């Protein structure tokens, strides 16, 4: 991937490189690439077309921040469940187990990874897999500093307060 040679606008639904990725029940559009920021961060806009989400996991070397743009999501960060709707944000620090589940579709979730490292390669590799709950997915994750430690959320977990 090449760095952006000029600042510019991306339209809603447009990917930075013109090649959106389809992965884990949704479409992933890179808005700001690791190449654009010298590896400092990566911003990905996701459109979820059905319920679901990733397995419980943690990032060894990355923080992850989520902004719900549309729809409803359930998050698990550490040992606490949170429901989130449009405008709500959730922070998942590196090393902290987390997962989320889209509860209503369609839904939109903005993902920010800091530092970016090789997260774009992870998502690109994931598009070639049939499903997330396989040994191949676990190996892909681990190769990119993501450790899968449990199943995806079901959506009926109890939420405090």
The reply to whether CATH 1.10.3720.10 applies to domain 22-150 is: no
User: In the prediction, which pLDDT does 2 show?
Assistant: 55
Residues 58-73: pLDDT tens digits? 999 999 999 999 999 9
Q: Could you tell me the two tokens for 150?
A: 């449990």
Whether the predicted model's global pTM rises above the 0.85 cut? yes
Question: CA 137, CA 149: separation in Å to the nearest integer?
Answer: 12
Angstrom distances, CA of residue 84 to CA of 29, 69, 89? 21, 10, 7
Strand-pair partners of 99: 76
User: Which has the closest alpha carbon to 88: 77, 35, 114, 97?
Assistant: 77
Residues 33-42: pLDDT tens digits? 999 999 999 9
């Amino acid at each position: 991937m090449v760095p952006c040679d000029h600042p510019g606008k991306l339209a809603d639904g447009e990917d930075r490189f013109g090649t959106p990725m389809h992965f884990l029940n949704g479409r992933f559009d890179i808005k700001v690439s690791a190449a654009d920021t010298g590896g400092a961060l990566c911003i990905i806009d996701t459109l979820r077309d059905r319920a679901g989400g990733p397995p419980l996991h943690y990032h060894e070397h990355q923080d992850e921040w989520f902004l719900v743009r549309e729809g409803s999501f359930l998050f698990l960060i550490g040992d606490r469940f949170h429901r989130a709707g449009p405008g709500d944000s959730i922070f998942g620090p590196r090393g902290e187990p987390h997962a989320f589940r889209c509860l209503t579709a369609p839904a939109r979730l903005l993902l920010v990874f800091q530092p970016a490292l090789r997260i774009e390669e992870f998502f690109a590799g994931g598009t070639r897999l049939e499903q997330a709950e396989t040994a191949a997915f676990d190996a892909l994750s681990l190769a990119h500093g993501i450790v899968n430690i449990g199943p995806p959320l079901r959506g009926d977990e109890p939420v405090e307060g």
